[in-house]
Chains A and B, each alone.
Chain A
Amino acid sequence: MLSLKRDKKEEEDGGGNPFNNLEKSTVLQEARTFNETPINPRKCGNILTKVLYIINQGESIGQTEATEAFFAMTKLFQSKDPILRRLVYLGIKEMSKIAQDVIIVTSSLMKDMTGKEDQFRGPAIRALCSVTDHSMLQSIERYMKQAIVDKVPAVSSAALVSALHLGKGSQEVIKRWVNEAQEAVNSDNVMVQFHALGLLYHIRKTDKLAVNKLVSKFSKQSLKSPYAYCLLIRIAAKLIEEEDAGSESPMFDFIESCLRHKSEMVIYEAAHAIVQLKNTTAKDLAPAVSVLQLFCSSPKPTLRFAAVRTLNKAYELMLNVLKLLVAIKHPAAVTACNLDLENLITDVNRSIATLAITTLLKTGNESSVDRLMKQISTFMSEISDEFKIVVVQAIRSLCSKFPRKHNVLMTFLAQMLRDEGGFDYKKEIVDCIITTIEDNVEAKEAGLAHLCEFIEDCEHTVLATKILHLLGREGPRTPSPSKYIRFIYNRVILENAAVRAAAVSAIAKFGAHCDDLLNSCVVLLERCQLDTDDEVRDRATFYVNVLKQKQKALSSAYILNGLQVSVVGLERALHQYTLEPSEAPFDLKSVPLATQPIAEQKVRDVPGEVPSSKPTQDKVAASRQDVYQEQLAQVPELANLGALFKSSSPVEVTESETEYYVQCIKHTFNNYIVFQFDCTNTLNDQQLERVTVEMEPAEGFEVIKYIPCPLLTYNKPGTTYTLVRLPSEPTQVTGTFACVLKFLVKDCDPQTGEPDEDGYDDEYVLEDVEVSVADHVQKVMKPNFAASWEEVGPENELEDTYALSNMSTLEEAITNIIQYIGLQPCERSDKVPEGKSAHTLYLAGVFRGGHDALVRAKLALDTSGVTMQLTVRSTDPHVSEVLATAVA
């Protein structure tokens, strides 16, 4: 029993394989048995098997060892034992590459190859071809030719395949065997025919014309062997690929006709080839796919497997094509394929159907929306989140394209919100609803209602807080704000701390905006003061106290419009403040303001835009100013200018293709402007030194200092700064500066970059740099403009009316005003509803020095142009003056 157990264990250890743990040296030692006479075929056969086994296990045998074993093996030719002899053939093939003087067996093999024993002939040919080198090829040529046309199929096949292998080395000799191969192609044996075709192709493969002829010849004359057909299909497919021909090639017709062959193997090969082709359209793929689908229901598992594999590839291909279509920005180009796509929307593969439908949605017209939405809703639950997102994106673009359809689309989105789905998917839906609400006033109520319903059962904190924020912003301005309070307060009772805090903020906004709800909101907020979470309690206490003051200005500043500073900047300023304790309170105005990334976001939401670039853009927008601040602080002369107020975007002051390429960035400080010139020397035979930009200041401005760039070598950008003091007169802020690039030129060797010793002074005239009002203001988004308007008050109000006669549309006027004044448009007032002739533009921002600046521009379009009534409010009288004159 015990021993039995042990045996079993040994078996598990791999003892079942008698060749396990073979030692190379022992086996080679054993191989000496081959030299004994008389030969014992059984014993020698066993040893030879061991040798073959270790070779095939990847054991490397040295040349001397191998040669010794090989010669011992040759002695086994004495035995006529068929098993041993065939093992010897195998041994010869394996050792032919490692042993020396393998040529020794040539005559023996030739004898077997021409002998009477058919069993030996085929293998002998294969072994012979493996030991033969090119010099010997001629001597066996006669026998090979005979063997190729031999009536025994095994011999013929062996000769053909061996010829193929020989052909890898010397094409020349093989070429003379064409006639024999031609004859063999007509053989009745399927294998011989296949191998003969292979050899023929190999002989001709360098000659494209000959291959072409070969395929067209055999595609007409029906071959017997399905293998040969498969090979022919492969050759044809390769030809199509090489010629870059599509389905119009005659080769393609041949492949297509093979789809109707009686052998499954051929059908599969043809379908596979079609799927693999590069330039296929959905129409070309269709027959192949339908054949493969038939295979899927075949009783043969192999066939099913192959079919599924290839179908997968076919679908992948279709998906890629469709994805491309989805990504195309010019719908007109895609409309051409609409007919094909229509066929695909009922495809059994849901992913394909989805993409087809979304493509159609994006390119189709308004009338087809209903039908397509109905179609897609039938299998929405069957597709993966990734595709659902694609659908949502399509709907988003539809919403902006066909605002009248918002009913259908909104209902559909609400339906999707209710279904199961991952975070990304839900986020996409919520984003889509939010943009729709913002774009379309009519959809607002319905959208908010859907979102309210969604947060009732929302597991994603991020989404819940986002929606609560939106409710706080949009809810108070709807006709019946009170109905949202219930949804929001439910969150306070049911959700986690983060959501509760967001809900508290939202309630406070309702209180601040709607006077009739103020008291109820205060009651709710007071209850929240008992919350377990610090943040929630703090927020509630803060809001209760602010609201109880019942001052509009206060509520506006602290509840409706939040903090507008850059977070990084605030952190740095606070850190600085704690390092140098002083009696003076911390001045929030010294903190750089947050640059408005909102404008850029708007651009990105344009339908069809590739979403991949989103994150990078966002980051740059948020930190650009901070980067500049760091950079400027590195320059000792510029370190003490105070906090950087604003950096303009780069302006080119040279043509881009000139000798020197210069960009200018204006950095505005409280009392100074720093002009940063990024210069690039595009001449490889010059080296510039002491590069400065001399500026001819406008009246009132004073150039304080030039900070030169010491060295400017070829193609390496350098930076020079010019420091300018702003005029003391507060209303004088704009001006034009003439600029000249001055430098010392040294010629240098273009190859080595070694400069000459002497140089000469030179200058290069740059374009003028303009300082405008926009350089002195920072854009700030006021989510609730009306409240801010009241908050600033009419103290420093200026009002004027202008006739903008050169503007023909409201949009044009708005774009220009924003450009001149440089303030942030609020409440989406930069978008003019279609067909209106009057519009009010709200602009907000902060002037240099931290003064709030608000602008209301009432625009009216008439026959002579655009008339504008501009009202400016600011906390500083001079600022109002500056802004009012900016447009004029």
Chain B
Amino acid sequence: MPFFDALARWLGMKKKEVNVMVVGLDNSGKTTIINHFKSPETKNHDIVPTVGFNVEKFKSKSLAFTAFDMSGQGRYRNLWEQYYKECDGIIFVIDSSDKLRMVVAKEELNLLLENPELKNRSIPILFYANKMDARDAVSSVKCSHLLELQSLSNKPWFICASNALTGEGLHEGVDWLTDQLKIVLQKKKK
């Protein structure tokens, strides 16, 4: 029913759809973050390591998100690139309490940024410095330093500390992403 879709969109009744990818190392909290955005009745209480990927849908103020929740385990990370092409935004989740593997996260981020599909695209990247409640968690600023985000200049990015268990900080990040994506969509229209 493309016609009705278009009509609904024109009337502003149906929200615009965007694809985002949720990536990050294993056990950083990707699935938990997505789970938080879901409506209460579809929420999953039992989070297990993702194998491959999951597709989840959630809504923010004015956009309908389709999130590809990718598996963070080492053997599946090379599969992320299969989904770069179609995504409009990226959510990169970092376990801020895991200082040891921060370098691994940095490496994966670099690989992502160097990927030909993404390299020259001005695609918004949202960083969640997750597990802020953990005792030895580093601050979001420290995190951005560790990942050398200051050198990332050709893409809009934003980092916020979050706690996926309580939902703290999550909406702040999604709001930023929504704004960025809206700008992108408007640019596309023109």
Contact = CB atoms under 8 A, between A and B. Distances in A.
Interface string B37-56: 00000000000001111110
Contacts of B5: 38
Contact of B52 (A36, A75, A78, A104): A104
Contacts of A71: 82-83
B47 to A, nearest CB: 11
A108 B86 contact: no
A105 B52 contact: yes
B190 interface: no
Contacts of B82: 71, 74, 104
Interface in B74-90: 76, 79, 82-83, 85-86
Contact of B51 (A36, A38, A106): A106
Given A104-B52, A108-B53, A38 B86 contact: no
B172 interface: no
B2 interface: yes
Given A40-B2, A103-B76, A104-B79, A35 B85 contact: yes
Contact of B66 (A74, A78, A101): A78
A77 B52 contact: no
Given A37-B66, A40-B2, A78-B66, A107 B83 contact: no
Nearest to A36: B86
Interface string B1-36: 010010000000000010100000000000000000
Interface string A100-116: 01011111101100000
A37 B85 CA distance: 11
Contacts of B69: 107
Contacts of A136: 51
B71 interface: yes
Nearest to A115: B42
A78 B55 contact: yes
Interface in A81-131: 101, 103-108, 110-111
Contacts of A35: 85-86
Contacts of B71: 104, 107
A139 interface: yes
Contact of B50 (A36, A101, A107): A107
A108 B52 contact: yes
Interface string A426-459: 0000000000000000000000000000000000
Contacts, number: 51
Nearest to B78: A101
Contacts of B83: 71, 75
Given A37-B19, A40-B2, A78-B66, A103 B52 contact: yes
Nearest to A34: B86
A108 B19 contact: no
B53 A107 contact: yes
Interface in A602-651: none
Interface residues of A, number: 21
Contacts of B2: 40
Contacts of A40: 2
A41 B83 CA distance: 19
Nearest to B44: A111
A103 B51 contact: yes
A107 B51 contact: yes
A786 B83 CA distance: 111
A35 B54 CA distance: 16
A36 to B, nearest CB: 8
A77 B55 contact: yes
A71 B79 CA distance: 9
A77 B86 CA distance: 14
B79 A101 contact: yes
Contact of A110 (B51, B66, B86): B51
A139 B85 CA distance: 30
B17 A75 contact: no
Given A37-B86, A78-B66, A108 B54 contact: yes
A37 B17 contact: yes
A641 to B, nearest CB: 93
A622 to B, nearest CB: 82
A103 B17 CA distance: 27
Interface in A757-787: none
B3 to A, nearest CB: 12
Nearest to A100: B79
Contacts of B52: 74, 103-108
A74 B17 contact: no
Nearest to A111: B54
Contacts of A75: 83, 86
Contacts of A101: 79
B27 to A, nearest CB: 15
B21 to A, nearest CB: 11
A461 B54 CA distance: 88
Contact of A74 (B19, B51, B53, B76): B53
Contacts of A38: 5, 17
Contacts of A108: 52-55
Nearest to B87: A37
A71 B82 CA distance: 7
Contacts of A36: 86
Contacts of B86: 35-37, 75
A139 B51 contact: yes
Nearest to B19: A37
A38 B64 CA distance: 11
B70 to A, nearest CB: 9
B90 to A, nearest CB: 15
Contacts of A110: 51
Contacts of B66: 37, 78
B69 to A, nearest CB: 8
Contacts of A74: 52-53, 82
Given A35-B86, A71-B83, 4 more contacts: A75-B83, A104-B79, A108-B54, A111-B54
18 contacts: A37-B66, A78-B66, A104-B52, A104-B79, A105-B52, A106-B51, A106-B52, A107-B50, A107-B51, A107-B52, A107-B53, A107-B54, A107-B69, A108-B53, A108-B55, A110-B51, A111-B54, A136-B51
What are the nearest 7 A-B pairs in CB distance? A104-B52, A106-B51, A77-B55, A71-B82, A107-B50, A106-B52, A107-B51
